[in-house]
Structure 1
Amino acid sequence: MQKISALIFLLLFSLTIGFSQAYKGRIEASKVVVPDGHYQDEYTFDTSVDPQRWTKEKPGLHISFASTDKLYFRSEVPDLQPESLVWEQAGWRGERLNTTLVVWSPDTLDQVRFVLHDLVGPKGAVLKRENIKLNLVRYVLSNYPYGDGNLDCGPSPYRDVFLMPDRFEPFERFQLPGRTSRPVWLSLEVPPGTEPGAYQGTIDVKTDRYNATLTLKIKVQPPTLPPPTEWKFRLDLWQNPWVLAWYNHVEPWSEEHKLLLKKHMKLYADAGGKYITTYAVHSPWADNSFRIEDTMIDWTKQEDGSWKFDYNIFDQYVELAMGVGVDEAITIYSPVPWGNRFRYRDGKTGNYAYAIMAPDSKEYKAFWNIFLTDLKTHLQRKGWFEKTYIGINESEMKQTLAAIQVVKDHSKDWRITYAGDWHKELDLLLSDYSFLFGKEPSMKEAAERAARGASSTYYVCCNPAKPNNFVFSPPIEGRWISWYAVAYGYDGFLRWAYDAWPEDPTRDARHGSWAAGDCFLVYPGANSGIRFEKLREGISDAEKIRVLRDKAAKSPDKNVKKLMLEFDQHLKSFTTERDFNEQKITDAVQTGEKMLDQLSDLLK
């Protein structure tokens, strides 16, 4: 009886707390403190902001098309009244179109499944059902630190735990427990050779007891979107290839590992990924990953004091990434590892040893001159030198400048990239510069970099709170990121990381040190998710803007020029509006999308 009373008390207490959160009532897992100060699961339960709403829902299947810009919570009746059974969307040939289907019911539904049909267009043209892909959106555990008002890259609070929708999972059918909702993500790939015009088709939704029919109305516009490998937007998501071996319990760089990597990296390439992340040092970021980044270039100090460098893993990874389409840039991290710690193998003992070398020391300059000479020779032999960057990340300015001086003294032909705050003294030294959002150059300074052929991107990480790609971030922020890049004049976007998974990413997205999802955008099994797809969606928008600008510049149509001027004026709002109210940024992106649709119809 005491246990039951305690459980009732905990439930009532959690309900009370739930109403005080930013997402009231959306707490779906509770954490309690145990004596050692850590947090552990004791009870997991669902609550709703308004449990009585379920009693007002008619029994049976409820389904509606819904915006991909929002999140739909497991225990809540979605605000989708009236239900929409028709999806209307315009898109280019070669474009991926996305929508969400939300399924909910006050009673349990078994064997929910979807039967796809072809879409029929002009003169009998067909968009085949094989171009439609459905993914169940799975919920993962996520913290929600916005309410603390202190998101500054410190330890992420574990006291507020939510089930948040993000991870995609292929499915044939699923069970929907009573009084729950479940989003399904629908993607439609429009093949490049598709005949422009209006297409229509249906999807049958079946359960053990109920059925429904959905209608798709797709307007295929004349322009063609280039394939992702030809996109100009510079997407740089840092990779840790060892994490796949660790998670899947296979030997690093075995054939099994490389097969997993090819599928994993293809997802990145299909989003327009441009940079291959490589490592010349072991654990450059102070051992802060669950599976730390190892070196791809093994250093051995031989018995006679000379140095030998093994590029076997480096070569394997670069060739693998290029083989799936990531082939524009190679970044090698880092001449400034955090702590100035460098690992090498002692040729006499066979043991690993560590050297602490500050970039302004004689030892550092002597060693890096040896290494850079060997590295440059290897890169030139492979034909990779012209696309390689030496990468430095958020390092103290004195050390950064000293390291750059060593690299440039070795050869003025080295390209250097730096991710961090804007520093005027770094500007002319860097071929590629990525600025932390909010710590950026002026638009004039960014334009000056572009004019001299230097590339500039920006990034978000464990801060700022908004905009970001956290599991709990409104999905529209992922799409907004690319619109901001275009508006500011940047070449692209960077993020750490693509795949720095915590211990159990398919279930629990929290890291422990940072907010949930901060360290990864995709899931094991080369499975995407809401955050990654919204980021890709924004990059696709950026490419459409680029293509339309080129077409508009050559068009004599006055209506085109007028609309293009209006569009450019609208873009300015992305650089001046810093409120990040979810509705405001949603309206900004959707207004821009409508203007792109108008231009797409005018520019054949």
Structure 2
Amino acid sequence: MKKILAAIIIYSLFPTLTNAQIEKAAIDLNNLQAPQPHYLPEYIFDSTTDATRWLDEKHGLKVSFASTDRHYFRTEVPDVKETTTWQAVGWKGERLNALVLVWSPDTLEQVRFIIHDLVNSRGPVMDKKNIQMNMVRYVVSNYPYNTPNATCDVSPYKKAYLMPDRFEAFEQFAVPGRTVRPVWISIDIPSAIVPGVYNGNLEVRCKNYNALLHISVKVQQEQLPAPHEWKYRLDLWQNPWVVAWYNHVRPWSEEHKMLLKKHLALYAGAGGKYITTYAVHSPWADNSYMIEETMIQWIRKKDSSWKFDYHIFDEYVRLAMEAGIDKAITIYTPVPWGNRFRYLDETTGDYMYEEWAPGSEAFKKAWNAFLSHLQIHLQKQGWLDKTYLGINENTMEQTLAAIRVIRAHSKKWKITYAGDWHPELDTLLNDYCFLYGKEPDVNAVKGRAARGFTSTYYICCNPPKPNDFVFSPPVEGRWLSWYAAAHGYNGFLRWAYDAWPADPSRDARHAIWPAGDCFLVYPGGNSCIRFEKLREGIVDYEKIRILKEKASASPDKKIKNLIKELNDHLQTFLLEHDFNTEKIIADMDKSKKIMEELSDELAR
């Protein structure tokens, strides 16, 4: 191994040497005795195969389409079957994603992509403005790609790994020798386009080289609704303070609110349904780089009565609703971790901290006062019917005690809980979000639906697989919503949308979580591979729902057989999985083929 590394170093310094000269120099270099350091530096690994493969690569520009379901390393020759043609099938209103890899053993300068319209042979055109491109930036991870044993305890993992994830707009870029640059292509099929096959070219040019790629998109008759109309209940917890912190602006200033508009647009574009709000200061025991502040200021007046300031709460809810996120508001939480509550003492002007255990007299008194005031405020705003009081991963004793106080106050309150499945909570919760692997069976979920309740599920820093860490195979992000459809869930929850670590644009590692666990969007409202694959799965969920509804009214035997095939295929997502990446990719390919065939049959 030392000899190989030495050969690579020598070749990079003296590329004109023959193989025999490189081998001899490598032996000489390897025999030198270097002083040993007193510590082991933190290396960044971004390759898993023999780096000498670059010696076999032909000089010049290399370009190929590649799978969006896998990752490709920064300094590793891509293991792909080179192809310059990409074919895809989609509905009107659907987004299709493709990945192009650019690599070379030589440095490439001024690489640029030139998009052309996609044209149907009968005349209709899909304008190139519907095609967006982003280069994929690599970020630092604390686990290697596709690791099967990631845990919340990241302390033993001192190595660092480069993983492709963050999107960045570009006009042109350079590719250093022996490196790879992925480019993500998104095609938003217009809702009003004429069905048919649309073909076009994509030119890749750089200094001294060029390549031509071909795109072919078959647009089916079916129509995908706009994201705002999707039924899937996507709940990605937000922390608006992190946007102000990262951009060095004053929270809730005009600059902050302008940034939030773009920041929330990505969530709305994936069908986001829940607005995350906070009625207490730092509900999760200060476990974020930028803690979640309260949006509702609790003020204890001089006569010991309470008053409440909602101006931040109202501003954020309106911002989210203007972005199109308007189906549900979750207020966290009657049960903050450690039962710690903060309020402003009007007499002294100081913040005071107290512990109010759920069910205690102090808790009952304070929360009855708050709930009475909050209910009136929500009714005035017209938001009461879509508001949930949120409880997260608390003990059964604390959860039941809080629910009793809430229910005794008013039957109008809706309650949501995220955590393990407990039958005793079933009838008490309007919305129940189960931790993956700690869930009820399908019949219990159907029972909740029959009572008018909603059910979702979530993943967090566990399980290791399936997940959407930066080191997870991208296909797992799409798999998540097929699992939701199979289990009868209404949607999916993830903490968090934007709980960024110190330097998220370059380093996705967190002090206590696996890389990427706590965010799915990057600063500037920039998307990433993980977010787009999650969105793909949500679109699949919507297509499954629409296809089933339409097929249920059809007497056609072939359509009925295809629906049976789809339902049988869905059942496989409920079986025990070892989450072999190739198996999941094969399952996704089969899923797409069934839906494509069913869509064609329903259009006949």
TM range (shorter): over 0.9
The equivalent residue for 1:14 is none
1:239–1:132 CA distance, 2 compared to 1 (3 A): same
Deviation (angstroms), 1:216: 0.6
Shift of residue 122 of structure 1? 4.4
| Conserved 8 A contact 2:91-2:224 | yes
Q: Mapping of 1:220-369 within 5 angstroms?
A: 220-369=219-368
| TM alignment of 1:458-469, pairs within 5 A | 458-469=457-468
Structure 1 residues 132-184: Cα deviation after superposition (integer angstroms, max 9, x where no partner): 00000000000117898754423454312100000000000010011111110
Aligned to 2:167: 168
Map 1:176-255 to 2 at 5 A: 176-255=175-254
What is the one-letter code of the residue matched to 1:59?
A: H
Q: Distance in 1 between matches of 2:45 and 2:496?
A: 31
1:480 maps to 479
In structure 2, what is the Cα distance between the partners aligned to 1:275 and 1:326?
7
* Aligned mates of 1:256, 1:142 — CA distance in 2: 31
Aligned partner of 1:371 in structure 2 is: 370
Deviation at 1:586, TM superposition (A): 1.2
Please name the residue that 2:449 is paired with. 450
The 2-side partners of 1:468 and 1:240 are apart by 21
- Cα 1:155–1:59 shift into 2, 3 Å: closer
Q: Find the aligned partners of 2:154 and 2:55 in 1 and give their Cα distance.
A: 40
Partner of 1:29: none
Give me the whole-angstrom Cα distance separating, in 2, the residues matched to 1:101 and 1:157. 35
Q: Tell me, in whole angstroms, the C-alpha distance in 1 between the residues paired with 2:465 and 2:404.
A: 35
Tell me how far apart the structure 2 counterparts of residues 46 and 233 of structure 1 sit (CA, whole Å).
36
Cα displacement (A) at 1:438: 0.2
Q: Is the 8 A contact 1:274 1:327 kept in 2?
A: yes
Which residue of 2 is the match for residue 19 of structure 1?
Answer: none
Counterpart-to-counterpart distance in 1, 2:410 and 2:42: 59
Which consecutive unaligned segments of at least 5 residues does structure 1 have? 12-31
Could you give the per-residue CA deviations for residues 453-505 of structure 1, whole angstroms, max 9, x where no partner exists?
A: 10000000000000001000000000000000000100000000000000000
* Letter paired with 1:222: Q
Letter in 1 for 2:214: T
Instruction: Provide the C-alpha distance between the structure 1 equivalents of 2:151 and 2:514, rounded to a whole number of angstroms.
Output: 10
> What's the offset of the Cα at 1:556?
2.2
Query: How big is the shift at 1:512?
Result: 1.1
Q: Residue type of the partner of 1:134?
A: M
Please tell me the residue identity of whatever aligns with 1:58: K
2:422 maps to 1:426: no
Name the SS for the 1:389 alignment partner: strand
Local SS of the residue matching 1:115:
strand
5 Å-filtered alignment, 1:3-152, equals 49-81=49-81, 83-144=82-143, 151-152=150-151
Is the Cα contact below 8 Å between 2:47 and 2:75 reproduced in 1?
Answer: yes
Q: Give 1:577 deviation, angstroms.
A: 3.5
Amino acid at match of 1:50: D
Answer yes or no: is the 8 Å Cα contact 1:143–1:157 preserved in 2: no
Change (3 A) 1:530 1:34: farther
SS in 1 for 2:598: helix
Distance in structure 1 (CA, Å) of the matches to 2:67 and 2:392:
36
Q: What code does the residue aligned with 2:477 have? A: G
1:26 corresponds to? none
User: Which amino acid is 1:272 matched to?
Assistant: G
Q: Is the 8 Å Cα contact of residues 145 and 156 (structure 1) preserved in structure 2?
A: no
In 1: Cα distance, 2:70 partner to 2:148 partner: 22
Root-mean-square deviation (CA, aligned residues, Å) is 2.1
Query: What is the identity, as a one-letter code, of the residue corresponding to 1:530?
Result: I
What CA distance in whole angstroms lies between the structure 2 residues aligned with 1:48 and 1:42? Answer: 17
TM-score normalised to structure 1 length: 0.92
Equivalents in 1 of 2:224, 2:78: separation in Å? Answer: 34
Counterpart in 1 of 2:587?
A: 588
Give the Å deviation of 1:123. 2.5
CA contact (8 A) 2:42 2:159 kept: no
In structure 2, distance between residues paired with 1:134 and 1:579: 34
Match of 1:110, as an amino acid? E
Matched residue of 1:405: which SS? helix
Q: Do the aligned partners of 1:139 and 1:166 also contact (CA within 8 Å) in 2?
A: yes
2:435 aligns with 436
Per the alignment, in what secondary structure is the counterpart of residue 572 of structure 1?
Answer: helix
* Residues in 2 aligned to 1:42 and 1:414: alpha-carbon distance in whole angstroms: 51
Could you tell me which residue of structure 1 aligns to residue 29 of structure 2?
none
Counterpart-to-counterpart distance in 2, 1:443 and 1:369? 36
Could you list the per-position Cα deviations for residues 70-129 of structure 1 after superposition, in whole angstroms to 9, with x for gaps in the alignment?
001011111113x11011001000000001001110111000100010011143100000
- Cα separation, partners in 2 of 1:565 and 1:53, compared to 1, 3 Å: same
CA contact under 8 A between 1:279 and 1:297: conserved in structure 2? yes
Partner deviation per Cα, 1:392-413 (whole Å, 9 max, x = no partner): 0001110010000000000011
3-state secondary structure, aligned to 1:272: coil
Q: Determine the C-alpha separation between the residues in 2 that align with 1:492 and 1:45.
A: 36
Q: Distance in 2 between matches of 1:186 and 1:147?
A: 23
Matched, 1:491 2:494: no
Q: Which moved more, 1:144-153 or 1:112-121?
A: 144-153
Q: Distance in 2 between matches of 1:157 and 1:258?
A: 40
Following superposition, the deviation at residue 585 of structure 1 comes to: 1.3
Question: Aligned equivalents of 2:404 and 2:287: distance in 1?
Answer: 28
Quote the Cα distance in structure 1 between the aligned partners of 2:193 and 2:144.
45
The 1:44/1:559 distance shift into structure 2, 3 A limit, reads closer
Against the structure 1 CA distance between its residues 469 and 350, is the aligned structure 2 distance closer, same or farther, given a 3 Å change threshold?
same
Percent identity reads 62
Question: 2: distance between equivalents of 1:147 and 1:44?
Answer: 16
Aligned-partner Cα distance in 2 for 1:564–1:402: 45
Cα deviation digits, residues 35-94 of structure 1 (max 9, x gap):
8xxx9x65557656212211111100111111100001011111113x110110010000
On the 8 A contact 2:341/2:353 being kept in 1, the answer is yes
Indicate the larger mover: 375-384 or 442-451: 442-451
Shift of 1:589: 1.4
| Aligned 8 A contact 1:334 1:392 in 2 | yes
* 2:148/2:465 contact within 8 Å kept: no
- Provide the secondary structure at the position in 2 that maps to 1:534: helix
Aligned mates of 1:158, 1:332 — CA distance in 2 = 36
Cα deviations across residues 345-385 of structure 1 (Å, max 9, x unaligned)?
00001110011100021111011110000000000000000
Deviations, residues 226-269 of structure 1 (Å, cap 9, x unaligned): 00000000000000000000000000000000000000001000
Aligned partner of 1:267: which letter? Answer: L
Using the size of structure 2 for normalisation, the TM-score is 0.92
Q: Which amino acid aligns with 1:118?
A: D
- In 1, distance between residues paired with 2:104 and 2:114? 20
Check conservation: 1:104, 1:180, Cα contact below 8 A: yes
Distance, in Å, in 2 between the alignment partners of 1:465 and 1:583 is 17
In structure 2, relative to structure 1, the CA distance for the partners of 1:233 and 1:499 (3 Å cut) is same
Distance 1:569 1:150, change over 3 A: closer
CA spacing shift, 1:167–1:480, aligned 2, 3 Å = same
Contact 1:300 1:344 in 2 (8 A): yes
Look up the SS of the partner of 1:322 in the other structure: helix
Select between 197-206 and 121-130 the one with higher mean Cα deviation. Answer: 121-130
Q: Distance in 2 between matches of 1:148 and 1:206?
A: 36
